[in-house]
Amino acid sequence: MKKVAFYTLGCRVNQYETEAMAELFEKDGYQIVDFEEYADIYVINTCTVTSIGDKKSRQMLRRAKKINKNAIVVAVGCYAQVAPDEVASIDDVDIIIGTDNKSKILEYIDEYKQTKNKLNKVKNIMSVRDFEEMEIDHYQDKTRAFLKIQDGCDRFCSYCLIPYARGPVRSKKFETIIEEVKKLVNNGYKEIILSGIHVASYGKDLGNVTLVDVIEELNKIEGLERIRIGSVEPSFFTLENIIRLSNCAKLCEHFHLSLQSGCDETLKRMNRHYTTDEYYEAVQNLRIYFKDVSITTDIIVGFPGETEDEFNRTYEFLKKVKLTKLHVFKYSPRKGTKAASLKETVSNHEKEVRSKKLIELSDRYEKEFYERFIDRTMDILVEEKKDNLYIGYTRNYLKVGVESINNIEGEIVNVKIKQYKDDMLIGSMV
């Protein structure tokens, strides 16, 4: 049997696209094996959000032929899109596909087999206008389904390379989303996660439909229990949107609201179109309309010109908003972005110091948030069994472990929370 192995770097959209490609291979008679195993084809879905993404992508592209020197190595995704020549210069790489035409991967492999010449299929993503349809029938994860409903970004934050890697905003058709979710629910999925490169831009290209419209429509689907959305910006949470969303009972009260910096001057240089006051207001409104809401965020430290004082303002702002968890990134200059032409003023050592400080704060707040729920009774959607515990998540995305004599995988169960241990809550069935 023909074998294919995948390795995915980066975001949820990449994970979705890998699964969609895996299904194409399966339907063509391939067996999917682990990346460290012997395979005929290795597909590496790359990432370029920071230079670490590039580096890891290159490492994985070089690893495949050490397992099978006769394999075909395919580089796909964002790093391949923005640096096709760099990727092509790696001897081991045979086929290069960017962020479009991933659904043609099997055709490209056939084409390669005929000539055995390195094949570069990367095209100008900035002129692509259509959303590339790739459907997934069954996910490896049996309880929740990620659904990519949007691609591209037209925000051009000054540090970010992704608009160049993903191209303009493109959205999956409204009716197609509803149909696909209905199908997934019929197949037993209880939770849907709506993802995209900039998911809040959903519908901009379609004209008369928004992400809120999608959520309202999905909220009506019988059998669907939970809806989650990927990362959004504060400007999405206008009071009007918050009120409409708070009437969607299935929408889970966990939001990832990217802040990037808690200093207004830095935000301006980052080309982020909000102030810390506006961010704070969005968070407070969410807290009013969504009981027990958990809000997480992304922060970049060491952006060019971030002085000690600017960093301290970020730190103080984070103490004021007290979010559940911070994902901290050290600024990495990306060639082709506006910020890449700014002089770097923060040393690697200082970036490390600032990052550590924020991670400490994050750990403290995460623990505090978790502990707030001790003695409460919460619903968890059970995903898997590990050792003697069933593990699942609450609507506000707290990880909970519970013992049960019956197999409760895939079920929503009511749990009384007892303690916080090893980064999760432990409870018992009620």
Asked whether position 139 contacts ligand 5AD by CB under 6 A, the answer is no
Q: Which of residues 258-317 bind ligand 5AD (CB under 6 A)?
A: 258, 260, 298, 300
Asked whether position 23 contacts ligand 5AD by CB under 6 A, the answer is no
- Count CA atoms within 13 Å of residue 388 on its CB side: 5
Applying CB under 6 A, the span of 217-225, 272-280, 325-333, 344-352 interacting with ligand 5AD comes to 325-333
CA-CA-CA-CA torsion sign (404, 229, 133, 216): positive
Measured CA angle at 39 (ends 37, 43), to 5 deg: 100
Applying CB under 6 A, the span of 102-110, 192-200, 328-336, 349-357 interacting with ligand 5AD comes to 328-336
| From candidates 25, 290, 317, 329, binder to ligand 5AD by CB under 6 A | 329
* Cα gap 200→217, rounded to integer Å: 16
Least separation in angstroms between residue 157's CB and ligand 5AD is 7
Measured between its terminal Cα atoms, the distance across the chain in Å is 48
Closest Cα partner for 61 from 124, 9, 10, 20? 9
Asked whether position 331 contacts ligand 5AD by CB under 6 A, the answer is yes
Least separation in angstroms between residue 44's CB and ligand 5AD is 19
Q: Which of residues 40-99 bind ligand 5AD (CB under 6 A)?
A: 49-50
Least separation in angstroms between residue 333's CB and ligand 5AD is 7
Q: What is the dihedral of CA 193, 197, 202, 203, to 10 degrees?
A: -140
Q: Which of residues 159-178 bind ligand 5AD (CB under 6 A)?
A: 159-160
**Residue closer to ligand 5AD, measured from CB, 188 or 336:** 336
Least separation in angstroms between residue 339's CB and ligand 5AD is 7
Cβ atoms 224, 188 nearer than 8 A: no
Which tokens in the block code for residue 217? Answer: 């429509």
**Residue closer to ligand 5AD, measured from CB, 311 or 420:** 311
Asked whether position 334 contacts ligand 5AD by CB under 6 A, the answer is yes
Applying CB under 6 A, the span of 62-70, 117-125, 126-134, 326-334 interacting with ligand 5AD comes to 326-334
Least separation in angstroms between residue 300's CB and ligand 5AD is 5
CA-CA-CA-CA torsion sign (88, 93, 98, 100): positive
Query: Cα dist. 107→97, 282, 321 in Å?
Result: 12, 47, 51
Number of residues that bind ligand 5AD (CB under 6 A): 12
**Residue closer to ligand 5AD, measured from CB, 160 or 358:** 160
Measured CA angle at 201 (ends 128, 299), to 5 deg: 110
Applying CB under 6 A, the span of 109-117, 200-208, 330-338, 411-419 interacting with ligand 5AD comes to 330-338
Least separation in angstroms between residue 374's CB and ligand 5AD is 31
**Residue closer to ligand 5AD, measured from CB, 49 or 145:** 49
Cβ atoms 257, 283 nearer than 8 A: yes
Considering only CA atoms, give the Rg of the chain. 22
Phi and psi angles of residue 46, each rounded to the nearest 5 degrees, phi first: -90, 170
Least separation in angstroms between residue 260's CB and ligand 5AD is 6
Residues in the chain: 430
* Cα gap 178→172, rounded to integer Å: 10
**Residue closer to ligand 5AD, measured from CB, 246 or 258:** 258
Least separation in angstroms between residue 301's CB and ligand 5AD is 9
Query: Cα dist. 330→287, 300, 301, 327, 393 in Å?
Result: 29, 6, 5, 10, 29
**Residue closer to ligand 5AD, measured from CB, 311 or 373:** 311
Site residues, ligand 5AD (CB under 6 A): 49-50, 159-160, 258, 260, 298, 300, 329, 331-332, 334
